Amino acid sequence: MGVVFGLLLGAGVACIWWSFWAQPAGATSTRATGWHTRTQDALVQAGVAGVTPGGLVATSVMLGLVVLLLGTVLTRIPSIALCFAVFAAIAPWAVVRGRARRRRARLRQLWPEVVDHLGSGIRAGLALPEAVAQIGERGPVELREAFTAFAEDYRATGRFGESLDALKARLADPVADRIVEALRLTRDVGGTDLGRLLRTLSTFLREDVRTRGELEARQSWTVYAARLAVAAPWIVLAMLATRPEAAAAYDTPAGFAVLAIGGACTIVAYLIMLRIARLPDDPRVLR
């Protein structure tokens, strides 16, 4: 009787514990899909659309393992090699995020010109597909390839909506999403206010570019100083690792604890700095 009571009590406690960690059906897949979509958008924005999120993960893991092996061979101190292996594994993600951020900043400067080209084409009497396709010839150089591909898709299929979807996927930009959906709505339901809408959007985009430029100019020196402060201790550690007697101090449990705590503080401080300095970006709600 005591055994049965104990089993029932244990099963009840396990059920209560499990209820705190259970997830709704599909929650895991939704989270994975969201991460996959965000990473794919970042890769497209960084100009490496041929790489998949899984490929980026594999590259990070392989780079971390290579640096771990080389660091262990060169320094003979596994704890030091592990620290630099972690940073090496993070490096591909940082490179992709940095390139995507810089490309978004460049495109932010170009979208008002694209909107002006669309408006002038529509005022000149061009059909919507022709007005969009002509950006591939007369628009900003960095965006011509995507709009040229749109023109080829439309000529091959004659389906305006599907060609716009492919254009959005190639650009992976929230401003492009708004422009594309405005064109799609005008094509589907008609209307005479597209020119006014494009002029208003162009004015708004120029004001946003000007405001962001002022804020980024004021905070840029602070961000660079914070990055230097984060990198400086690890540069010193790399220099110390070239001297065996200095590196030997970290080949102990206490030395490993110092490196682990220092690495955790570095990562947390850098993430906090990015969070504080980050300007709000428009999400892709019209993907």
Range of the domain at 118: 107-208
Classify residue 249 by its DSSP letter: G
Over residues 78-92, the mean pLDDT reads 88
Q: Higher-confidence residue: 225 or 6?
A: 225
pTM of the shown model: 0.71
Decide if 56 is inside a domain. Answer: no
Q: 46 near 39, Cβ under 8 Å?
A: no
Higher pLDDT pick, 171 / 19: 171
* pLDDT value at 266 more than 90: no
The confidence score (pLDDT) of residue 6 equals 56
Asked, for residue 14, whether it belongs to a domain, the answer is no
Residue 41 forms part of a structural domain: no
Structural domain includes residue 162: yes
Is residue 237 one of the residues assigned to a domain?
no
Tokens of 83: 């620290």
The total domain count for the chain is 1
> How far is the first Cα of the chain from the last one, in angstroms, to the nearest whole number?
61
Residue 35 lies in a domain: no
| 135 domain-assigned | yes
Cα atoms in the 13 Å half-sphere on the side-chain side of 80: 27
Instruction: Please state the rounded mean pLDDT for residues 233-239.
Output: 86
**Arithmetic mean of pLDDT, 36-58:** 83
Asked, for residue 123, whether it belongs to a domain, the answer is yes
| pLDDT value of position 272 | 84
Share of the chain above pLDDT 90, in %: 5
Output the average pLDDT for the chain.
80
Task: Give tens-digit pLDDT for 136-181.
Answer: 888 888 888 889 999 999 889 888 888 888 888 888 888 888 888 8
- Exposed e or buried b per residue across 255-285, where buried means at least 16 C-beta atoms within 10 angstroms of its C-beta: bbeebeeebeebeeebeebeeeeeeeeeebe
Task: Return the pLDDT at 25.
Answer: 39
Per-residue pLDDT for 278 more than 80?
A: no
Which one has a higher pLDDT value, 202 or 8? 202
Whether 60 shows a pLDDT value over 70: the answer reads: yes
